[in-house]
Structure 1
């Protein structure tokens, strides 16, 4: 087995459990096949175990927490089983959840989402790509009723790994549409047209909170996609819900999801969310609750400042159209915008608008997206609900 040596005798973050080692931390960058399994040594020759190696990626090594190469496949199966048991403990009566969350489950670059009897696999590391044909066999062993598995390998992260993007059915059949239920809400899913892996499962508990506070409110759901927050607001008793998304296809599914759940109080607007917020402000329209759940505004550190400006804009116009004592629910899924930075943005906007904010709910990604404390990168979702006072 090839051995790769580090430039130093220890890397403090790795010592406490971080699983990535970067290319500039290696003594040399050998020309091995991307995804090769190698043994990692410190500069003094101490073994740190095995890792997936990619000479073309900034994340050159993804530690596997293993010492014997023959254990890799067996370990993948065991760790998927362990992930399954955790999700069943967290959500015992549900069948829509993130089954595997990459490094947090010690499965570098592997994401698996379950939607009842269908599964979506996403691979974001060259090492795990080598097991793409084995993973479906493991899933079907653990879930004998599985009807279909699809790979949705179309991500920014694959490009960083030098991997091609593609979608393909790995097992069984994936119908054009399926109906699934999450937290009592029915959704029509089209795995071929859905963003990312399907539903935004990371917002599961946050959507439930929106349902709890929506009774008799006039609600605006921006960046609504298939209507997750809007549906929960309507089922929570909102008197009116407006859903805004730039995708006419996504809005079409949101409209059908309202119908599927027997809801008739939805308005659907195909428009850029910021343009719609500006329009509502200019026309002096008011809402009791505005939900902002935009896509990531930056996928790299170099674009953080433009992302901050984007969050400033959407939150400023949202605050302007919220009635006194109304509510702002605002989220960021940008990994490079940490919680203190995001809160500071909201505070600055509130100060500029002479608005007082009362934090009533602090959320994040659902527990089926567990956070590895030694890897801040596994924590990405920030979600806050504020009551707004303009007096």
Structure 2
């Protein structure tokens, strides 16, 4: 096994539990097949564990959380079994959940989502991509009733790893529509053509919170995708829930979900959220709850300033539409924007338009997206609920 050595004083972060060693932290970057299993040692020769090496990537070594000598199907089966036990402990018998969340499950560069009898995999590193057959074999052993496995390897992260983009069925058969339930709602997911791995499972518990707060409220769900928050609000007896998204296919799916769940208090419209919010302000419309769940606004540090400006405008516009006693649900999946950043935006924007806010709930990603404390990169989802305080 190839041994790679860190430069002096570069090991502390890794000894504390971080799983990435960057290329510029290595004494040398030898040529090797991307994805090769290597041993990483500190400058004094002490081992930091084994992991997958890619000389083409800025993240040169992705550690596997220990001394792994062989990364075969048995290795993945043991890791997947451990991950499944954790999910069952917190989610019970949920049909749709994330089985593997990369680094948080000590499997850097691998995502596995389960949707009933269909599994979606995403390999974001050369080490995982090289072991696709072993991963599929382990999943088939762990889930003997699985009917099909899809790889949704379309993330641009793969390009940085020197990998091609692929979107295909890798084993078995996958129907055009996969039926699952979440929070008592029926969902028809088009995993072959849907975004990312098919559905935003990380908001599972937060959608439940919205449902519990929606009774008799008029709810505006911005960036609704296939209906998640709006559907939960309607199921929670909202007087009316309106979902907005710029994707025609997402709106079509959301309307179908309202139909199959018998929710006649739920509507959906295709529109640019920023434009729609401005129109509602001009029309002096008011809402009892506004939900903001936009896509990530920043993939790199150079984009943070623009992201903060986007969140500021969104939250300011939403606040203008809320009546006293109304609820602002503000979420961010941008890992580079912290909860402190989001709270600061809400403080400044509410003060700017003279509205008092009271934080009544804070949430994060669901337990099937656990956070590895030594890797802040695994904590990304912020979910805040504020009440607009009227005059006493």
With structure 1 as the length reference, what TM-score do the two structures score? 0.98
- Say if 2:131 is the partner of 1:131: yes
Residue number in structure 2 paired with 1:90: 90
Residue number in structure 1 paired with 2:36: 36
Q: 2 CA distance for matches of 1:19 and 1:203? A: 26
Residue aligned with 2:70, SS: helix
The alpha carbon displacement at 1:50 in A equals 1.1
CA spacing shift, 1:78–1:348, aligned 2, 3 Å: same
Pairing of 1:94-243 with structure 2 (within 5 A): 94-243=94-243
Deviates more, 1:203-212 or 1:93-102: 93-102
The alpha carbon displacement at 1:11 in A equals 2.1
CA deviations on 1:135-181 (whole Å, 9 max, x unpaired) are: 12111111111111111111122122221111111221111112210
CA spacing shift, 1:292–1:68, aligned 2, 3 Å: closer
Deviates more, 1:78-87 or 1:1-10: 1-10
Gaps of 5+ in 1: none
With structure 2 as the length reference, what TM-score do the two structures score? 0.97
CA deviations on 1:175-200 (whole Å, 9 max, x unpaired) are: 11122101211111001221111121
Does the CA contact (< 8 Å) of 2:222 and 2:243 recur in 1? yes
Q: 2 CA distance for matches of 1:51 and 1:250? A: 39
The alpha carbon displacement at 1:92 in A equals 1.2
CA deviations on 1:62-81 (whole Å, 9 max, x unpaired) are: 11134352355432221111
Runs of 4+ with >6 A deviation: none
Does the CA contact (< 8 Å) of 1:225 and 1:247 recur in 2? yes
Q: 2 CA distance for matches of 1:187 and 1:349? A: 36
- Say if 2:14 is the partner of 1:14: yes
Q: 2 CA distance for matches of 1:343 and 1:15? A: 32
Residue aligned with 1:134, SS: helix
Pairing of 1:358-377 with structure 2 (within 5 A): 358-377=358-377
Residue number in structure 2 paired with 1:292: 292
Does the CA contact (< 8 Å) of 1:9 and 1:44 recur in 2? no
Q: 1 CA distance for matches of 2:269 and 2:71? A: 52
The alpha carbon displacement at 1:10 in A equals 4.7
The alpha carbon displacement at 1:270 in A equals 0.7
- Say if 2:389 is the partner of 1:389: yes
Deviates more, 1:266-275 or 1:295-304: 266-275
Deviates more, 1:189-198 or 1:361-370: 189-198
Does the CA contact (< 8 Å) of 2:103 and 2:109 recur in 1? yes
Q: 2 CA distance for matches of 1:58 and 1:345? A: 32
Q: 1 CA distance for matches of 2:93 and 2:79? A: 22
Pairing of 1:56-95 with structure 2 (within 5 A): 56-70=56-70, 73-95=73-95
Q: 1 CA distance for matches of 2:162 and 2:10? A: 28
Q: 2 CA distance for matches of 1:193 and 1:94? A: 23
The alpha carbon displacement at 1:106 in A equals 0.6
Residue aligned with 1:372, SS: coil
Deviates more, 1:161-170 or 1:246-255: 161-170
Residue number in structure 1 paired with 2:341: 341
Gaps of 5+ in 2: none
CA deviations on 1:314-370 (whole Å, 9 max, x unpaired) are: 111000011111000011001111111111111111111111111111000001101
Residue aligned with 1:133, SS: helix
Does the CA contact (< 8 Å) of 2:241 and 2:266 recur in 1? yes
Pairing of 1:231-310 with structure 2 (within 5 A): 231-310=231-310
Deviates more, 1:281-290 or 1:71-80: 71-80
